[in-house]
Every structure is written in structure tokens, then in C-alpha cells.
Chains A and B, each alone.
Chain A
Amino acid sequence: MAGTSPGMTGTAAERNIVRLIGAPLILLLLTLFFSSFSQAADLPLHPQRIVSLNMCIDELVLRLADPENVASVSWYSQDADNANMAEAAKLRPANHGSAEEAMFFHPDLVLVGRFTPRTTRAMLSEIGAPVVQLDVPETLEGVRKQIREVAELVGEPARGEALVARIDRDLDAISVDSQMPKLKAIILRPNGFTVGPGSLVDELLKRAGLENMAARLDIGAYQQISLERVALLEADVLIANAETSGAPSLATEGLNHPIVAALSRKLRVVAVPARYWTCAGPAIVDAVRQLVEATRDVRAKVASP
């Protein structure tokens, strides 16, 4: 090319092309270099100072790793109203989700969630801590995958397999036959949120023999719904969060609205403790079990009117 291009214009154009392709290429190579350096190379096979900054990951770490290898979990996990492994969490030092606190424990593995602030993650990787970000599973298959992933990370793959097998066995034992007629259900969470199709909770409802009416409302996976629409849905089952924390908030006021009490005369209101399905973890089995048991007599009535 250089030989055929006349004079200065050719080289300028070439230089531009090199700049156009070259700069991103160098950047990409640098990124690849550093990411391979800071992630794969540094991840220990059997970490002994694990720090988790996310409540849902705390639970998996506490279930899968040996307690002495868990350096710190988030403070949310120590509250038995919110978390399923509070007893075990209380025995470990707590953090409040900041990079500074995480560094204090000299971690050889830091696990963060999707919602851990970008600045926190950036700070951690700058300091050179091995950080792994875990997503929020949206399906049952995703839950299995995440349990296996965390088990692998903490160096206990066999425990991960065992936990997945136990969840599957429990779910199969309690699930309602998919051939059975479905009960119509709607979820009402704090701040008037409901859960729509394409979510893990939607899949759990199916396992419990319930049809999620949010699908008919043409709303996304997690949307607000007015009490008015909830009241007029003609559902068989209204699934609310059980009041666990004694502290009041407007978010849970909607669930105390007199219309919810009035509706309970016409349909079954099931109060599921939030900690059963706040996290896409092993406790989802308890959510399905409660839904199945609380709607058994309603189902019988619908089946033989």
C-alpha cells in the first residue's frame, strides 16, 4: 500500500487508520492483560479469607464454605428477620458493603453482587483484591448454576452439588402436579410492587400450582401495581410479604390497608416471610412449601365445586 499511495495524503490516511484501529486494540489488549492478571491469576483454589459484601451471597458462602474461612459477611445477614443464616452470620465479623472494610480483612476472595456500587468494585480491583461479581439468578436453573459457581469459588464443589441435589429433591416432593388446574394468584410486595413473568418468583408460583395474574396485566418482571387493580383482579390467592420487622415504614403500609383485610374475606391471603425469596437461594423451597400448604384447601374447593 505504502508504495502505491502518492505522497503525504496516503501516509496521513494510513496513520488515521492505525489510530482508529490501533488505539482500541491497545486498550483491549491492556484490559485483557490486566483482567487476566487481577482475576484468574489471583483466584485461590481454596480461599481462607473470604469477604462477601452482598446479603444473598453471604447466605451461599455461609452454607458452602467452612466458617473459619469466612472473614466477613454483610451486616444485613446478621438480622434474623431478613436473612436465613443469621445464626451463622452473627459468629462472623460484619461489613457494611464498603471497599475499605473489605480491605481490612486482607481478603483472598471478595464476592460482590450486581448492585454493589461501581465505585466500590473499582476501588477493590485497584487495590488488587481478587473480586468476583455474582449476578442475581432469574430462573431455577440460574439458582443451581450460582450455587455451583460459589461452591467452586470457595473450593467446595462437592457441597455445591449436594445442596443443588437437596433443593431439587425437596422441590420435586412438594411441587403441585403441572396437570392440576391452576389457582389465580397475584403478589403484593412493599411499595405496591408485584412480580411478573420471566422471573424466578414466577417460576416458583408455577411449581406451587399457581398462575401469576401479573402476566395478564402486561407489566414487566418487577412493577408497581395499584391496590385498586389488585382488588379488581378476581384472584384466588393474594401473596403478601409477612410483616417480620417491627419497625414501621410506608412501604409496608399498603399491606396494612383495610382493603387487604376486606379482600381476605373473598380470597386466600398468604403471608410469605420476605427472607424466603428475597434471595434466589436455597430458601425458595420454603416459599414454595408455604404456598402449596396455604392454598391446599382452596385448590380442593376449586377442583370440586
Chain B
Amino acid sequence: MTGHGPHYPALVAALAALSLSVMLVSVFVGYAHIDVLAALGDALARRDSLPALALVQLRLPRAILGLAIGFSLGLSGAAMQGLLRNPLADPGVVGVSGGAAFGAVVAFYSGLSGIFALALPLGGIAGAALAALALYGLAGRGAGTMTLILAGVTINSFAGALTSLALNLSPNPYAVFEIMFWLMGSLIDRSLSQVALTLPLMVVGWALMLSSARALDALTLGEDTATSLGFDLVGLRWKLVAGSTLAVGASVAVAGAIGFVGLVVPHLLRPFVGHAPGRLLLVSGFGGAVVLTIADIAVRLLPMHPELKLGVVTALIGSPFLLSLVNRMRGQA
């Protein structure tokens, strides 16, 4: 842990800078040509030009949400892996994202979010919380990888079925075709109002998770030692569950369930923080932001219409990664 100490601030700074740079690139990428600098000038001078509108109302929310949702997924993945002390824990794999999608679908298609906008992220958070509680009941602390994965598969397929059922029950003829969005995720044509609606909830979730960093590190010494060091383990669990539920629930409500970011990113970064789960949190957040923003830039540059869903890209990269991970774990067992 100590051996990597001096590098940690530099690593955080580098990843933060990288996140901001890919976000900047994201603003420059789109389907129509925008002179970004001129549009920015217009926007700052409050000139209501078309490029300024497109920049502020379309490009900016997409870039912000890519960054924030990537941060949420990366951070939540690291938090869940630390909490469950299992390297395969990830909001997508264990079904928390699927639960969030179901909650958001109910809030949206019932018309509740049309009356009261905050119902959409709150629905996502409620669904995520239900899935997290089910997971904790089925495969609480100390459960083996097998139990965790089976619990995740169960929760995922049940949440997926409920989502599909809710879409089928909607009287809107388009609804039933929208399952892809909820299961695979996309950031197409998001708006600033959606940013305003979900970002504050995500930030609260981030704060809850990040504030548990030191306790999470202590937990690696064993529960008894951590308790004797003065850490409240029950409080720690609640903070991590609540934090990841808030962040993932709000993210999925606005962009659908995007998988694998929370699985892949903590794994890639773990060696750089000396395998300390507390330090892994912040770097995984920034790492997730970078990965998701790059994926979102890629779907806009690929010559495919309609645009590829984000979850397709992350799964294409993430699945082989998960396979190699399973293979490595089999070798250890």
C-alpha cells in the first residue's frame, strides 16, 4: 500500500485530466458540423444562434452525462467489489442496473415522471435499491463467487422480464420497441434538464461512496481488526449500498443500463493503487468516465444508423475481459 503512496495523487490527477480531455473531445464530435468555438462565443454572449443552441442543448448534456454516468458506474463497481470482497461484483453483473431500469421504466411509462419529473431518477433509485437488497439477502458478505453470480443472474433475468412486461402493458404502441434502450443504454439526444435532474443525486451517491474509502481499506485487515480500529462496519455497508444505489439508479434512469464499465475499470486500475480498495474508488470513477465517454464518442463516429447502443460497445469489450477473468480465477481455484 505504502509503496504506491507517492504515485496516488499523480494517478488521480492524470485520470482526472484525461476525463476532462475526452469530455472536451466529446463536445467536438457529432452528426452535424458545428464551429464549436464560434458557437461557444454565441452562447456566452447570449446570442440565440442555431449552433449555440445545438452546442448547449445537445452536445453539452451528452458530454456531461457521459462523464457523470461513467464516473458513477466505475466508482460503484469499485465500491461493490470492495464491499462484497469479490472481483466480479459490478452493478450490471449483479442486477442492480437491471433493477434500476425496471424502476425507471415504471416511473416513465406510467406517466408519473410526466407529472413530477424527479419520479424518473427516484424510480431508478428505488429499483436499484430493491435489487441491491435482494442481492445482499441472496449473497451477503462472505458469499462465494458462484453464489454472487447466480444471485446476479437471477436478479438480472427477473428485472429484465419485469421491464419487458411493463413495456408490453404500456398503451403507447412505441413502448414495446424500447426494451433495447433500457437493457443496453444510450446517450442520444439527452438534455440539460436531464442533467439537472440526475447529476445532484449522483453526486450525493459519489460522496457517500468516496467517504468510505478509509473504512474499506481497513476492512481488508479483517472485520475484527477494522472494528477495533474504530470503523463502524454496519454504517460502512449502508453507506456503500446507498451510494451505489443513488449513483447507478440515477444513471440508468437517464441512459439505460450500460454494463461492464464497473467490472472492467476497477480491474485495470487495481494494480496501480496497490490493491487498496479505498484508493481504488476515486481512480475507478475517473477511469469509468474516460471509458464511457470514449465509447460514446465511438458510437457517434461509427458509420451505423441508428446509432449503436452504448451497452453493445461496452459488452463487446467487456465480455472477453470477463471471460479471461473467469479463466484466471479458475486457475487459482
Does B327 belong to the interface (CB within 8 Å)?
Answer: no
**Knowing A258-B193, A265-B48 touch, does A248 contact B172 (C-beta < 8 A)?**
yes
User: A-B contact count, CB below 8 Å?
Assistant: 94
B32 within 8 A of A: yes
B172 cross-chain contacts in A, Cβ below 8 A: 245, 247-249, 251-252
Q: Do A224 and B305 form a contact, CB below 8 Å, given A259-B54, A266-B50? A: yes
Interface residues of B in 91-123 (CB under 8 A from A): 108-109, 111, 113-114
Task: Tell me if A192 is interfacial: C-beta within 8 Å of chain B.
Answer: yes
From A223, A232, A262, A265, residue with most partner B Cβ within 10 Å: A232
A145 to B58 Cα, complex, angstroms: 44
Distance of A228 Cα from B191 Cα, bound (Å): 12
- CB contacts (< 8 Å) of B191 on chain A: these are 257-259
Cα–Cα distance between A173 and B213 once the two chains are bound (Å): 74
Q: Does any Cβ of B come within 8 Å of A273's Cβ?
A: no
In the assembly, what is the distance between CA of A254 and CA of B53, in Å? 15
The interface residues of chain A, by DSSP majority, are classed as: helix
Residues on A with C-beta less than 8 A from B174 are 190-191, 249-252
- B138 at the A interface (CB under 8 A): no
Closest to B300 in A: A226
Max count, chain B CB within 10 A of own CB: residue among A227, A252, A263: A227
Instruction: Report if A263-B32 is in contact (Cβ < 8 Å); known contacts: A226-B188, A245-B171, A249-B174.
Output: no
B170: min CB distance to chain A, Å: 6
Contact (Cβ within 8 A) B53 A247 = no
**Partner of A228 from B30, B177, B193 at Cβ < 8 Å:** B30
Given known contacts A228-B32, A262-B53, A263-B53, is B111 in contact with A247 (CB within 8 Å)? yes
- Residues of B contacting A190 in the complex (Cβ-Cβ under 8 angstroms): 174
- Say how far B308's CB is from chain A's closest CB, in angstroms: 13
In the complex where A258-B191, A259-B191 touch, is A228 in contact with B111 (Cβ < 8 A)? no
Distance in angstroms between the alpha carbons of A191 and B113 in the assembled complex: 19
Distance between Cα atoms of A223 and B111 in the complex (Å):
28
Task: Produce 1/0 per residue, B172-196, CB < 8 A to A.
Answer: 1111011001000000110111000
Closest to A193 in B: B306
Check: A246 CB closer than 8 A to any chain B CB: yes
Instruction: Say yes or no for B59: interface residue by CB 8 A criterion.
Output: yes
CA distance A248 to B104 in the complex (A): 13
Complex interface: chain B residues within 8 A of A259 (CB): 53-54, 57-58, 191
Nearest residue in B to A260 (C-beta to C-beta)?
A: B57
Per the bound structure, the CA–CA distance linking A266 and B189 in Å amounts to 20
Q: Within 8 Å of chain B (Cβ to Cβ): is A229?
A: yes
168-221 of chain A: CB within 8 A of chain B:
190-192
With A234-B50, A257-B57, A262-B57 known as contacts, the answer to whether A246 contacts B111 (CB < 8 A) is yes
Number of contacting residues on B, CB 8 A? 34
The smallest C-beta distance from A96 to any residue of chain B, in angstroms, reads: 13
Query: Whose C-beta in chain B lies nearest to the C-beta of A231?
Result: B54
Contact residue among A192, A226, A250, A262 (Cβ-Cβ distance under 8 Å from B32):
A226
- Per the bound structure, the CA–CA distance linking A191 and B178 in Å amounts to 10
Q: How far, in angstroms, from A231 to B56 measured CA to CA in the complex?
A: 12
Contact with A along B19-46 (1 / 0, CB 8 A): 0000000000011111000000000000
**Pairwise interchain contact A258-B32, C-beta atoms closer than 8 A:** no
The verdict on B266 contacting chain A, using a C-beta distance below 8 Å, is no
CB neighbours of B53 from chain A (8 A): 231, 259, 262-263
- Mark each residue of chain B from 289 to 332: 1 if its CB lies under 8 Å from any CB of chain A, else 0: 00000000000000001100000000000000000000000000
Q: How far is the CA of A227 from the CA of B191 in the complex (A)?
A: 11
| Alpha-carbon separation in the docked complex, A248 to B166 (Å) | 13
CB distance from B310 to the nearest CB of A (A): 15
Complex: A226 Cα to B62 Cα, angstroms? 13
Interface residue from B33, B171, B189 paired with A227 (Cβ < 8 Å): B189
A229 close to B32 (CB less than 8 A)? yes
Residue B51 lies at the interface, judged by CB distance under 8 Å to chain A: yes
What would 20 more interface pairs be, CB under 8 Å, given A226-B31, A226-B32, A228-B59? A82-B173, A192-B188, A192-B189, A224-B305, A228-B30, A228-B58, A231-B50, A231-B58, A232-B34, A247-B170, A247-B172, A248-B108, A248-B114, A249-B175, A253-B189, A258-B192, A262-B53, A262-B57, A263-B53, A266-B48
Residues of A whose CB lies within 8 Å of any CB of B are 76, 82, 190-192, 223-224, 226-229, 231-232, 234, 245-254, 257-259, 262-263, 265-266
5 contacts between A and B (CB under 8 A): A192-B188, A232-B32, A247-B171, A250-B181, A266-B48
